[in-house]
Structures are given as C-alpha cells and as structure tokens.
C-alpha cells in the first residue's frame, strides 16, 4: 500500500469516528474491549501509527462503529483487511488438506499460524 492510497491515518479516522458517533476515548475503548489508555495512544500516534494495533481491535472498531467500513479502518491503520472466506473455500481447503501427509500438515499449520500472527500484529 502506498502512502498515496492511505489518505488518513488511524488517529484521523478515530477523530472523525468520535465526531460521527459523539463518543470519547473511554467509550470507544469500552465498546471494543481495550483500555482507554490504548485508544489514547492511538489518538496521539504512540503505537506505530496503527501498524501495532491488533487485528481484533480493528475488527471490533468495524463491528461497533459500522458507519466506518472494515477496509477503511484497516487502511487507516496501514494494514490490509483480511479477505472474505468464500462459501466453498473451506470445503476446498479441507479437501487439499486431506491430501497432505502428516508432516506436510504440521508444516502448513506452522506456516498458517505465522501468517495469522503477522496479520494480528501488523508485521
């Protein structure tokens, strides 16, 4: 993602969210399950400009404040939003998984955990 694609950072998005929903840092924190100091740090850009924000927190913002899209929130945090799971994708993935050896399954699980962790931490 280029800097040009990201027009507002997380602090700016949160300022706009506070205006739209007439909420303060504490209310945002309560609704998404983080400490008020965490939201305050995001507002004052003390947490890596959004990259250090957990994926779960970004998902919670989208869920609790639906006037802001998931994509918009993730973009402001400098992150790509996780892709949707197509209805037949799970079945296709399981079919592929069943064709792997036990060792291959173990290695793929390690790889998937690492990818998931990278997405959660924004790395």
**Domain boundaries, position 110:** 89-121
Q: Is the pLDDT of residue 2 over 50?
A: no
CA dist., res. 107 & res. 103, Å (int): 6
What are the C-alpha distances in Å from 69 to residues 33, 36, 90, 112?
Answer: 19, 22, 25, 26
pLDDT tens-digit readout, 43-72? 988 755 555 788 889 999 999 999 999 999
Positive or negative: CA dihedral 82, 14, 39, 21 = negative
Band (pLDDT 50/70/90 cuts) for residue 4 is: very low
Q: Is residue 83 part of a domain?
A: no
Residues 54, 16 share a domain: yes
Size of the chain in residues:
123
State whether 62 and 15 are in the same domain: yes
Q: How many CB atoms lie within 10 A of CB 23?
A: 18
Across the chain, what does the average pLDDT equal? 86
pLDDT of residue 62: 95
Q: What is the CATH number of the domain that holds 54?
A: 1.10.260.40
Domain count, the chain: 2
């Amino acid at each position: 993602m280029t800097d040009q694609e990201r027009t507002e950072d997380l602090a700016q998005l949160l300022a706009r969210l506070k205006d739209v929903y007439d909420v303060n840092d504490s209310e945002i924190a309560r609704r998404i399950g983080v400490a008020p100091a965490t939201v305050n740090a995001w507002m004052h850009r003390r947490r890596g400009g959004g990259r250090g924000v957990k994926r779960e927190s970004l998902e919670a913002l989208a869920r609790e404040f639906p006037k802001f899209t998931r994509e918009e929130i993730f973009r402001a945090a400098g992150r790509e939003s996780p892709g949707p799971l197509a209805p037949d994708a799970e079945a296709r993935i399981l079919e592929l998984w069943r064709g792997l050896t036990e060792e291959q399954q173990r290695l793929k699980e390690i790889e998937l955990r690492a990818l998931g962790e990278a997405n959660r931490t924004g790395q």
